[in-house]
Amino acid sequence: MANLNALLQKCSSNGAVSHIHIKQLQAHLTTTGQFQSKLFPVRSKIIEFYALSPLNELAYAHALFRQINAPSTNDFNAVLRGLAHSSKPTNAVLWYRQMLRGSHRSDALTCSFALKACARVLALFETLQIHSHVLRHGFLADALLGTTLLDVYAKVGEIVSAKKVFDEMGVRDIASWNALIAGLAQGNLASEAVDLFKRMKMEGVFKPNEVTVLGALAACGHLGAWKEGDKIHEYIREERLDMNVVVCNAVIDMYAKCGLLDKAFEVFDNIKCRKSLVTWNTMVMAFAVHGDGPRALELFEQMGRAGVKPDDVSYLAALCACNHAGLVDDGVRLFNSMANCGVKPNMKHYGSVVDLLGRAGRLQEACDIVKSVSMGTDMVLWQTLLGACQLYGDVEMAEIASRKLVEMGSNNCGDFVLLSNLYAAYERWDDVGRVRKAMKNRDVKKVPGFSYIEVGGVIHKFFTSDKSHVKWREIYEKLDEIMFKIKEYGYAAGTSCVLHDIGEEEKENALCYHSEKLAVAFGLISTSEATSIQVFKNLRICRDCHDVIKLISKVYNREIIVRDRVRFHRFKDGACSCKDYW
């Protein structure tokens, strides 16, 4: 028995050669009658070998299983594991149900494999059923199974359930902690992920490892919580986790997303381990989203000189840099050079160059590229072109793009809003009404804009005309003061941004209380004069807010950093790092 098990382990690590040994072993067990013995655990390992084979032999594993007169739980689990890892993980859930309907006993591994399949297809209902089965049979005492269950809930967005599983686990290992921190970070509960990381450190039962800090850094980057990120970076250095290049990449990304570009480059420049391709790509993209196109392109060229071959992500980062900095000719040159460097452009590259040309006003060139894409028509390209048409007021081309999107079945609110805004800019209110009616008929919901700011370790979130904050009166008073002061510097409300059929005074009021203005006003009344203000917005910043915040940075002598959906804007002394190109 020991020799057979050793042979199986050896075979599993020897690639194609292992199939010969497995076939010989299988033939031996079949001819000797041992293949039908429940007391022979090697059988399930053979089935599992085929079920997980990179040569796509899951069907053969299934056929072997059907030859067994009395399959054991391990046999069922072997097929189940293969199904959970297959291209159709829903079949694993069906197999699990079939097992339960029979007289076969399941165990913790059965539930674990079925849950992993649920995680891949985000099957909440089935997860709830399996969870009930786990509780009924007392399997939650298995720490590995508890971690898997927690991970599934986190991935399907059921964070409350994930936290409940975590709290109810009798025995937690570090993988339980890590799964919940990562789940919170990915599930729009980043502040809770940071809190859980701090709780883990405080309790001191487990020391955060590489996986732990990756989740916590991702949460800090999402929140823009650079102070907490700085503490995590300090812990990383103390524990020498910075010898891991993946961790270093995450630190660079965190600082970049928090607006600390120089700090990100400092980590990149002084990295202790060997830089990976991801390290270079992360830094190039950091320069790109901060609008520093020249440094991004310089680093891209330096990458090649260092012997690191750029991949499709490298080129995308460089194209984004050209896009954000308005380096049109450089971007077109890069795009055209990709094929010569053995990198095939994908839809993101096409989208970036269409956006680059479109935002530069070269609409016909952009349209020609959209029509010429050989990999098939893609909604994103037409959406990008539609955005450029709205920027330059090309109604005719916008209508072509819009019709194409409708033909392709688009139900994205942004597509309708862009066309509606374009009609509104030309005061074609009947057409605006027609578009809005189409949105209503299709049940298209407009995504509300919001902004948030961290002050004293607390995240404060604002919507347009928001009065839910405990200090809303002080915020509005500060905004009134701001508007009065900046008018002395020549500010006039950009009412052309307000695309509604209302009077000028109403338009000014609508502009005044945008979410990013409320967040900046709160920052001014809540922080000391020397402190920079960082605001994060889920949509692209509007033209009027951009103009207002530039003036605020001058009048109040504050550096203000706004990260919108697309990029960073660093306002200082009445100017923005984007040079008014975004």
Indicate the range of 295-304, 426-435, 485-494 predicted with least confidence.
426-435
Structure tokens at 249: 């990449």
* Most confident listed range (14-18, 171-175, 566-570): 566-570
Structure tokens at 308: 């690191």
* Most confident listed range (107-111, 264-268, 325-329, 528-532): 264-268
Measuring CA to CA, how many Å separate 568 from each of 261, 325, 546, 573? 10, 12, 12, 16
CB 184 within 8 A of CB 190: yes
The arithmetic mean of pLDDT across residues 28-37, rounded, is 71
pLDDT confidence bin for 104, thresholds 50/70/90:
confident
pTM for this entry: 0.74
Residue 38: the pLDDT is: 62
More confidently predicted of 2 and 294: 294
* Most confident listed range (91-100, 101-110, 138-147): 91-100
CB 185 within 8 A of CB 193: yes
More confidently predicted of 303 and 407: 303
Neighbours of 162 (CB within 10 A): 24
Neighbours of 500 (CB within 10 A): 11
Residue 501: the pLDDT is: 44
Would you say residue 7 has pLDDT above 80?
A: no
- pLDDT, averaged across the chain: 85
Residue 379: the pLDDT is: 82
The arithmetic mean of pLDDT across residues 463-478, rounded, is 93
Would you say residue 292 has pLDDT above 80?
A: yes
Closest CA to 254 of 267, 244, 243, 269: 267
Neighbours of 417 (CB within 10 A): 19
Closest CA to 282 of 268, 272, 292: 268
More confidently predicted of 428 and 26: 428
Element containing residue 199 per DSSP (H, E): helix 190-203
Strand partners, 453: 460
The arithmetic mean of pLDDT across residues 73-101, rounded, is 89
- Quick one: residue 280, left, alpha or beta (phi over 0 = left, psi -120 to 50 = alpha)? alpha
- Quick one: residue 332, left, alpha or beta (phi over 0 = left, psi -120 to 50 = alpha)? alpha
Residue 374: the pLDDT is: 55
Would you say residue 505 has pLDDT above 70?
A: no
Residue 301: the pLDDT is: 94
Neighbours of 251 (CB within 10 A): 28
Q: What angle do CA 423, 426, 427 make, to 5 degrees?
A: 85
CB 532 within 8 A of CB 558: yes
Would you say residue 6 has pLDDT above 70?
A: no
Q: Look at the alpha carbons of 316, 317, 318, 319 in this order and tell me if their dihedral is positive or negative.
A: positive
Q: At what angle do helices 90-101 and 124-136 cross, to 10 degrees?
A: 40
The arithmetic mean of pLDDT across residues 338-362, rounded, is 91
Backbone torsions φ then ψ of 499, nearest 5 degrees: -100, 60
Closest CA to 417 of 400, 396, 439, 441: 439
Q: How far apart are CA 477 and CA 224, in angstroms?
A: 27
Would you say residue 532 has pLDDT above 70?
A: yes
- Please list, residue by residue across 220-247, b when 16 or more beta carbons sit within 10 angstroms of its beta carbon and e when fewer do: bbbbbbbebbbbbbebbeeeebbebbeb
Residue 183: the pLDDT is: 80
Maximum C-alpha span of the chain: 96
Residue 412: the pLDDT is: 72
CB 567 within 8 A of CB 289: yes
pLDDT confidence bin for 242, thresholds 50/70/90:
very high
